[in-house]
Structures are given as structure tokens and as C-alpha cells.
């Protein structure tokens, strides 16, 4: 078991902290559903949502680390409403960092409203 997996297992043995969470709905493949519920049985003090949240954090962090250095390159591109779309370069690390910073600065309520309007 690698270090990240060991940290998750150790974390799931600690008390639950649910502050600062936002509710979303996901559709998952049945195999993933079965694995999540099997983890729920292995860690009965954790909900499936808590397990999924921790797994998403670990996976997203790993992807973000793999994006590389944040070096601005290319022109910034915006849609007709001024929404940032990225850069003309393939600098995904820069695009991620800029978008993440903007979302945090605008606050979660602003983005939850945008998600609901898009539905």
C-alpha cells in the first residue's frame, strides 16, 4: 500500500469532520459503487460520501501535482461574458491555478448558483 492509501486508511479511523462541504450529485459505474460500499463496510464509522470525498481529494491532488510548473504562457482567452476559458498555450497548471484561485475568491455560493443556472 502506498503512502497516500495508508494516509486515507489512517484518516478513516479518526473522528469525522464535515465542515465546509458542498453537496453534489455524481453518477458512477456499478463497479465503483460496489467498491465504495465495500469500503463503507470495512470502515463503518465513515459514510460513502466521506469515503468518496477523501478519495477524490487524493486523486485530484495527484493530478494537480502532475500538471507541472505554473508558468504563464500564451494569451488569456475569455468568453463573451468575460468568463476565463484558459490560455492559448497548453499550460494546464497555469489554467488550473487561475481558475481555482478565482473560484475560491468568488466564494462557493457564487459557483453553486452558476451550476444551478446551467441545469
Query: pLDDT per position in the chain (119 positions), as tens?
Result: 677 777 777 776 766 666 666 777 888 899 999 999 999 999 998 888 889 888 988 888 888 888 877 776 667 778 888 877 766 667 778 888 888 888 888 776 665 555 555 55
pLDDT for position 104:
83
3-state DSSP percent of the chain in helix, strand and coil, to 5 = 55, 5, 40
pLDDT for position 113:
53
- Supply the pTM of this predicted model: 0.57
pLDDT for position 40:
92
pLDDT for position 16:
65
CA gap 69, 65 in Å, rounded: 9
95-99 LR contacts (CB < 8 Å, sep 24+): 96/64, 96/67, 97/70
φ/ψ of 78, rounded to 5, equals -125, 150
| Rounded alpha-carbon distances, angstroms, from residue 4 to 14, 55, 113 | 16, 10, 33
Amino acid at each position: 500500500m502506498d503512502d497516500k492509501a495508508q494516509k486515507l486508511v489512517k484518516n478513516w479511523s479518526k473522528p469525522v469532520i464535515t465542515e465546509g462541504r458542498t453537496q453534489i450529485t455524481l453518477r458512477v459505474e456499478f463497479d465503483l459503487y460496489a467498491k465504495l460500499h465495500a469500503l463503507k463496510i470495512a470502515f463503518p464509522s465513515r459514510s460513502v460520501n466521506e469515503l468518496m470525498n477523501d478519495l477524490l481529494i487524493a486523486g485530484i491532488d495527484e493530478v494537480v501535482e502532475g500538471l507541472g510548473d505554473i508558468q504563464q504562457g500564451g494569451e488569456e482567452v475569455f468568453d463573451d461574458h468575460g468568463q476565463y476559458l484558459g490560455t492559448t498555450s497548453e499550460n494546464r497548471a497555469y489554467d488550473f491555478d487561475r481558475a481555482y484561485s478565482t473560484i475560491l475568491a468568488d466564494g462557493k455560493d457564487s459557483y453553486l448558483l452558476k451550476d444551478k443556472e446551467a441545469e
